Every structure is written in C-alpha cells, then in structure tokens.
Structure 1
Amino acid sequence: MSALVLVGRGRYEDPWHDHAAVAHEVVEVLADGGLGVTVRGTFPGALDGVATGAGRPGLVVVVAGTGRTDPDFDGTDEDWSRFHAALDALVGFGVPLLALHASANTFTDSPAWARRLGGRWVPGVSMHPPIGEARFTVTDAHPVTAGLGDVTAFDERYCDLEVDPASTVLLTTEHEGREHPVVWVAPGPGRVLYDALGHDHRSFASASRRELLRREVAWLTAPPGGRR
C-alpha cells in the first residue's frame, strides 16, 4: 500500500510550523508500517491524475496550515479549485485521510475540507496555551485507542476547536478546567481522522505520541473488517 503526504507550502504554510520536519517524522512512521511513501508540496496541480487510475494512494496525510492567500502571491481560489476537487474526490473514492495539527486551519478556501475533517480551527475562538510538556487523555474505546494510556509529548494543546457533534472524539486535553477534543474520527463517509498533535519534530520524540500515530495509520489502512 502507498501513502501520499501533502506538505503545505505557499498559501498553506505559515511561519510557526515546520511542515517539512513534521512530514519527515511522519514518513518514518509510515515506512516502518510497510507503506511506500510519496511526498508532495501543495501546488494547484499536485493531485492532477492522482484521484483516478492505478496511481491512487491507499492513504493521504495532510501536514499543512494557512499562510498568505492574496492572488499575486500564490494564485487565486479559482486556481486552487482543481486541487481541492481532486482531494475531495480521493476521500469520496474511499481513500483514508489523516490530517495533522495545523491542518484544522488549512484549505480554508475549500468548501468541503472542514466538513470532511469533522471539525476546524475557528479564528478568534480556537487557541492554544504556550507549547510545553503536554498530556492527552483517551476518552473512547476505539480500535485506535484500545489499551493505549495517556499520550505525553512536548507539543501544543489545541483548545476550543469546532468539532462536528457526529465526530467520535478519541483524545482530549485539559485546559482551565475543561476537556478539549484533540483527536477524533470524522463522521464520514470515508475514513478520516484528525490528530491535533505535531506542532514540530519535538512531538515525535515521545514514544506514546509515535505509538498513537502508528495506531492511527494502522486503523486507517486496515481492511474494512478491521475498523469500527
């Protein structure tokens, strides 16, 4: 099975996240799981021809954010429409999708992204405390989390994300006396999982964080009988 990792650039990169370094860590986990990996930057034509034919991947991973969207910098929304249509088609064809960290705040020009993801970052509402040693707690007995204890990592704790009530929340983090969803399975159709961990490479120094990612990939790529 093959995996396609989409790394944010241009209008889908920002000055706070090293998407390339995170993608490197993700590729290691994917390769350890026996997947062949292709890495592509986000360009308008990055997915041309990918949604059809034998080249269709078995998993798509998005490591991206939001940067400048002015047309003179990186094209217009119309220029990017074919990229978003192709990504939506891949998920529509049943290709599993894993979106990491700032991906809750990417592809804001896509009419389908937040719906596919089962949630999103809301500017002016969503936030995170200063990055540091963080704890993430399992909340659902899902195949991804069965037997998994708390996840600890040096990472950001995303809070006040807007989550579709039909999403299945797998992990939360506590901030100011409230539990905030950080990992969830989208309601579908299709197999889509969002994981808010992974601000930078330091997150992946944690064995429990890497184990969480390994489990997510294994569940997403398992035969239909192996998923709930």
Structure 2
Amino acid sequence: MRAVILSGAGRTADPWHPYPETSAALADIVRAAGFEPEIADGPLEGLADLAGGAHLIVVNAGDPDGPMPEGADAPPPSPELEDRAADALDAALERGVGVLAVHSAASTLRELPAFGAALGARWIDGRSWHPPIGEARVRIVGDHEIADGLADFTVFDERYSGMPLSGVIEPIAEHVEDGIRHPLIWARELAPSRLVYSALGHDARAYESDEYRELLGRALAWLAEVPAATFF
C-alpha cells in the first residue's frame, strides 16, 4: 500500500516545526503499519505530482500564509499548481483514500477548501492556541474502535486548543486545560474515504511515546480499511 507524506517545505515550512524530522518519524510509523511511504516536499506539490495513486495521504505541513524560516523565500503557488492539487485531492476523496493529518496540518492547504471541510476543524489565528510545550496528559475518550482498550498516557508535546469544529467528529482523545476539555484526536467517515486528525506532533519527541505510536498504528490500520481499494 502506497503512502505519500506531504511534508512542510517552502511556504508551508515555518520557524517552529522541524518537518524533515517529524516526517521521517511518521514514515517509520507508516512503514511499520504496512505502507510504503514516500515523502513529498510541499503539500500542494505532493498532491499535484501524485501519479499512480495512493492508499494513504499523510499531511504534516504548516500555514502557507505564516512566516517562513529565517532567510527562506518561496514564490506563491501558481494557479495551475493549485488546480492540479485540488483535482487530485477531490479525486482521492471521491474514490476512497485514507488521510492522516497531524498537528499543524490544521493550518495548511488553505488554498484547498475541500481539505478544510474534510478535516472538520481549522487553526484560526487569534482564536486557536496551545499551552507551552511540555509533558501533556492525553485522555482517551469515546467508543471508536481506534480507542478501544487504550489507556490515558503522557507525551511531550504541544496541545492545540480552541479550534472550532466545522463538522461531526468521532472523538478518540482529548486534553484538559484550565478545566476545559479540548478535542485532541478524532476520526471522520467521508464515504468512501476516512480521515484521522491528531493535534499532536510538534517535533520528534512526540513520536518517542510508545503509547502514541500504538494509537497511530491503530489509526493507520483503520485508515487502511477504506472501502475503495482502487487508486485515484
């Protein structure tokens, strides 16, 4: 099963997230789940150049309208690139694909409304936020099969908060800050496609957690069961 990891680069890189590091960690987890991962630099570029199809798309990139790393420069995408990426994503979702979106994926691919609609939430500047990075308690919730039998765990990471939902989600995990519960990981059925979003994954330390890796492995197994096994 082919997996394409859309990794932050150019306009979707930023000063805070080490995308080469986290995409490599994700590739190891995806490979252990039975996929053959490929890393594409830039989410629009990866979608537009996707030939032969894929069973899984992993999104690990940042805000194209945010600051880039110091000294970096990248031109805005061409309308042709945006159109090709949009067509590829639409075709994938229509025919059946698994999507795993992590952390700052909530702020990427803003050029493609279909991605935000599939995700079910967006990072909104001035409204969304996160506590300081550190030891974070992850609470398993809901009755989704990914969560079945899992226990609460601790991970060193950021916990995205304050992202308003725009669709129905099946909660898998949450965190609590100042007595308020915030969705942290969820699943969505987008027949015939499936999506899992995790607000975790700031840097490689997140993926050093055995419990989090197990959760992601379960998510990938669920995503691999997308009814449409054909390529787009």
Note if 1:11 corresponds to 2:11. Answer: yes
What aligned pairs does 1:158-197 form with structure 2 within 5 A after superposition? 158-189=160-191, 190-197=193-200
Note if 1:58 corresponds to 2:86. Answer: no
Equivalent position to 2:138, from 136, 139, 164: 136
Equivalent position to 1:201, from 197, 201, 204: 204
Alignment RMSD (CA, Å)? 2.0
Deviation for aligned residue 1:210: 0.8
Deviation for aligned residue 1:57: 0.9
What aligned pairs does 1:110-121 form with structure 2 within 5 A after superposition? 110-121=112-123
Q: Distance in 1 between matches of 2:37 and 2:119?
A: 22
Q: Which residue does 1:216 correspond to in 2?
A: 219
Q: Distance in 1 between matches of 2:28 and 2:43?
A: 23
Question: Counterpart amino acid of 2:116?
Answer: A
Deviation for aligned residue 1:222: 2.5
Q: Which residue does 2:28 correspond to in 1?
A: 28
Q: Distance in 1 between matches of 2:116 and 2:45?
A: 21
Unaligned stretches of 5+ in structure 2? 68-72, 228-232
Deviation for aligned residue 1:93: 1.7
Question: Counterpart amino acid of 1:196?
Answer: A
CA contact (8 A) 1:44 1:83 kept: yes
Once the two structures are superposed, what CA deviation does each residue of 1:138-173 show, in whole Å capped at 9, x if it has no partner? 111111110001132100011111123511121110
Unaligned stretches of 5+ in structure 1? none
Question: Counterpart amino acid of 1:27?
Answer: A
Q: Distance in 2 between matches of 1:15 and 1:183?
A: 24
Identify if the C-alpha distance between structure 1 residues 165 and 202 changes in structure 2 by more than 3 Å, giving closer, same or farther: same
What aligned pairs does 1:46-85 form with structure 2 within 5 A after superposition? 46-48=46-48, 50=50, 55-68=52-65, 73-76=74-77, 78=79, 79-85=81-87
**In structure 2, the residue corresponding to 1:84 is in which secondary structure?**
helix
Q: Distance in 1 between matches of 2:76 and 2:36?
A: 31
Question: Counterpart amino acid of 1:217?
Answer: L
Q: Distance in 1 between matches of 2:141 and 2:44?
A: 38
Q: Which residue does 2:104 correspond to in 1?
A: 102
Q: Which residue does 2:94 correspond to in 1?
A: 92
Structure 1 segments of 4+ aligned residues over 6 angstroms from their partners: none
Q: Distance in 2 between matches of 1:89 and 1:41?
A: 21
Deviation for aligned residue 1:123: 1.1
Deviation for aligned residue 1:45: 4.4
Moved more, 34-43 or 56-65: 34-43
Q: Distance in 2 between matches of 1:176 and 1:145?
A: 24
Question: Counterpart amino acid of 2:122?
Answer: R
**In structure 2, the residue corresponding to 1:6 is in which secondary structure?**
strand
Q: Distance in 1 between matches of 2:35 and 2:111?
A: 30
CA contact (8 A) 1:139 1:169 kept: yes
The percent identity for this pair of structures is 36
Deviation for aligned residue 1:15: 0.9
Number of equivalences: 220
Q: What TM-score does the superposition give when structure 2 sets the normalisation length? A: 0.87
Q: Which residue does 2:230 correspond to in 1?
A: none
